[in-house]
A and B are shown apart, each in its own frame.
Chain A
Amino acid sequence: MTYLNKIKIFIFVFMFMLFSFSINAQWNIPADAKNKKPPVDPTHTLVKTGKDLYKSNCASCHGTPGEGNNIAAIGATDLGSGDYQHSHSSGQTFFQVEQGNGGMPSFRDKFSSDEKWCLIFYIKSFDKDFKITGEELKEQKADLRLSLIEKIRTVKAYATTKDKSGKEIALEGADVQFFIKRMFGNMQIGEIVTTDNKGIASIKIPENIPGDEEGNLNLLVKFKDTDTYGKAIKSKTIKWGTKLEIVNITDKREMWGSLHRVPLWVLFSYLGMTIGVWLVIGYVVFQIIRLKKL
């Protein structure tokens, strides 16, 4: 019974510790933080920058604003909710990004001041009353075509888009990313490449990228700015990886292996000693039984 009680107490302590983060997350925002104003007016370009930052740094806990896919258990709120938007001014959010609290790390050193403001513009863009100035970013559906230059291990991506008359033209100045498909995600190769005036972004595939048993790599190419250019992903199997040699470590005779992989010296020492000793024991027993006949 006492054991059960102890377990109960332990569960309680454990749950308390889990939820104490939400308790910790009591924000203590100084009054003057509210008045802190951005140095520039929000534009669509700045909001877009903020969105990219948000995706890679905030979304894992806070989810997509307004969609409620935040992790509430650790105290992360949905920043797109009306509650949050009404109770937090831009300055207050800026303070929170700077300081961090409880489960939230401080981003003071991680982002520049401009970046922080871009982030806040993006968060604030979910408030209906928030005014964004400047030109709206236009969608410009684009497409990618890949070609390989075997000799120099280079992949060329041709980015094209359509002009007003529907004619296909080269897309200049678009950021293109190259990935290699991996078990749990896509691994970026090299830097982001911006297409030139012919719409070409090319990259040299480094050596020593492990491929499958034939050395095949699964290459994926896409635009970085999927909002503008669309989510076109082009994939291609390239043979420039190193060949994977499948070595089964359990085939070796090891001390840690299974019985079938017992090191031979262990096997022979064991069998030799055991059989030797038991033969002598057998001889003695045999002689005892023979005692009668002596």
Chain B
Amino acid sequence: MKEKKNPEKKSGKKSTSRRDFLKKGLLAGAGTVLAGGVVGSFNAFAQNGEKIKVLGSDGKVMTVDKSHLQEIGLKTEEEMQVAGREGIPGKKWVMVIDLGKCKNARLCMASCQHAHELKPEQHHINVLRMDRGGDTAPFFMPKPCQHCDNPPCTKVCPVDATFKRQDGIVLIDNERCIGCRFCIAACPYSARIFNWSDPKDKEKYEDVEYNIELNVPQKKGTVSKCLFSADRLREGKLPYCVSACPNGVYWFGDANEDAVTNGTTKETVPFKKLLKDNAAYTLLPELGTKPSVYYLPEKDRLFPFEYEGKSDLEDKHHS
């Protein structure tokens, strides 16, 4: 499943393992001499197993003994790859975004960038100023990856680096991505970004075990995208953006359970009824992408449209 690591990483690992080997050898030797038995050397081995860097559930990098991973409830990179590609059986994640409640607070963007170690100009979720033209009123629209059921991006990926799992999430494996950017070109929602140069805090995350469900560490020359916070869902928690919103914009849940939970009020309501009662729609339905993200129209707005002190849309004809 997992492909080979890039050369520099490999060589880095090799040298540490060689050092470990020497250390083990010395300790083993010392153990044999001091304890005069096999038992001593065995203990020395056990305490000096391969050290690896992993991400804790709080997102902090820690160095742990590989053999201790399971005790602290963490997985190796290989295990994360297998589980990450599989997805969570029986789930179909959906998001509902209530446009009437968004006031461009951007806490969703900030928490997302923080969680996925993104640079300020990199957005997995982006709050757009939308304008339907004519005399219609402008509004704010948070735009994550739509996690389409007919995804144009995974269709074109030549190496299965971006793929759709059984719970509906479209993930990206940046240990496999070759950086051809075909998926970026194919995505009609501009939901994908690329690591054009070294990622943020490159040194800090060097050699850290890659978590495919968080896409951290980010890697130069690979694509990154919104993951519906697959790592949080595995823990039964709402996505980063959903829980960060102060205005009750996001509902998130499992369509198989027909329930979505508001990230702000924590209220849980029937999913289909929410869609029906509010005339929900999906983005660019004419493209047939079948998104998993639904939008509730910007009706009964809680906030006026204000941007940089202006209440009107300045760049009415965007770019």
Co-assembled chains A and B: yes
**A74-B105, A103-B105, A250-B165 known; A210+B120 contact, CB < 8 A:** no
Given contacts A10-B121, A61-B246, A184-B253, contact A18 B110 (CB under 8 A): yes
Chain B residue contacts of A185, Cβ below 8 A: 259, 261, 266-268
B269 x A187 contact (CB < 8 A): yes
List residues 147-199 of chain B with CB under 8 A from any CB of chain A.
149-151, 154-155, 160, 163-166, 168
**A246 vs B254: C-alpha distance when bound (angstroms):** 13
What are the interface flags for B70-91 relative to A under an 8 Å C-beta threshold, 1 for contact and 0 otherwise? Answer: 0000000000000000010111
Residue pair A210, B257 in contact (C-beta under 8 Å):
yes
Interface size class of A (residues with CB under 8 A): 35 or more
Q: Check A264 for interface membership: any CB of B closer than 8 A.
A: no
- Interface status of A17 (Cβ within 8 A of chain B): yes
Bound: A256/B89 CA distance, A: 19
Interface string of A74-115 (1 = CB under 8 A from B): 101000000000000000000000001001011000000000
Residues of A within 8 A of B151 (CB): 256
The answer on a CB contact under 8 Å between B107 and A73 is yes
Known: A182-B254, A182-B259, A183-B236. A60 touches B264 (CB 8 A): yes
Given the known A-B contacts A60-B246, A103-B103, are A249 and B149 also in contact in the complex, defined by CB atoms under 8 Å? Answer: yes
Contact with B along A235-253 (1 / 0, CB 8 A): 0000000001010111000
Known A18-B106, A249-B164, A256-B164; judge A182-B257 contact (CB<8 A).
yes
Indicate if the CB atoms of B90 and A246 lie closer than 8 Å.
yes
A148-192 toward B: CB 8 Å interface, digit per residue (1/0)? 000000000000000000000000000000001011111110000
Does A182 contact B107, Cβ atoms closer than 8 Å? no
Whether A287 sits at the interface, judged by CB under 8 Å, is no
Q: Max chain B CB contacts within 10 Å: which of A21, A180, A187, A188?
A: A187
Per-residue B-contact encoding for A1-45, CB less than 8 Å = 1, 0 else: 000000100110010011001000000000000000000000000
Shortest Cβ distance from residue A43 to the other chain B in the assembled complex, whole angstroms: 27
| Contact A71 B163, CB 8 Å, known A182-B268, A185-B268, A256-B151 | no
A10:B264 contact, CB within 8 angstroms: no
- The answer to whether A187 and B155 have CB atoms under 8 Å apart is no
Given contacts A60-B264, A210-B256, contact A105 B106 (CB under 8 A): no
Given A248-B89, A249-B164, verify A7-B247 contact (CB < 8 Å). no
Instruction: Give the residues from 134 to 155 in chain B that come closer than 8 angstroms, CB to CB, to chain A.
Output: 149-151, 154-155
Known: A7-B120, A105-B247. A250 touches B164 (CB 8 A): yes
5 contacts between A and B (CB under 8 A): A56-B265, A183-B236, A184-B236, A212-B90, A249-B166
Residues of B whose CB lies within 8 Å of any CB of A are: 87, 89-91, 101, 103, 105-107, 110, 119-121, 149-151, 154-155, 160, 163-166, 168, 236-238, 246-248, 252-254, 256-259, 261, 264-270, 302-303, 308
Q: Which residues of A line the B interface, CB within 8 A?
A: 7, 10-11, 14, 17-18, 21, 56, 60-61, 71, 73-74, 76, 100, 103, 105-106, 180, 182-188, 209-210, 212-213, 244, 246, 248-250, 255-259
Besides A17-B308, A74-B246, A258-B160, 16 more A-B contacts (Cβ < 8 Å) are: A7-B119, A61-B246, A105-B303, A182-B257, A182-B261, A183-B253, A183-B259, A184-B259, A187-B269, A187-B270, A209-B258, A213-B90, A250-B165, A256-B150, A256-B164, A258-B163
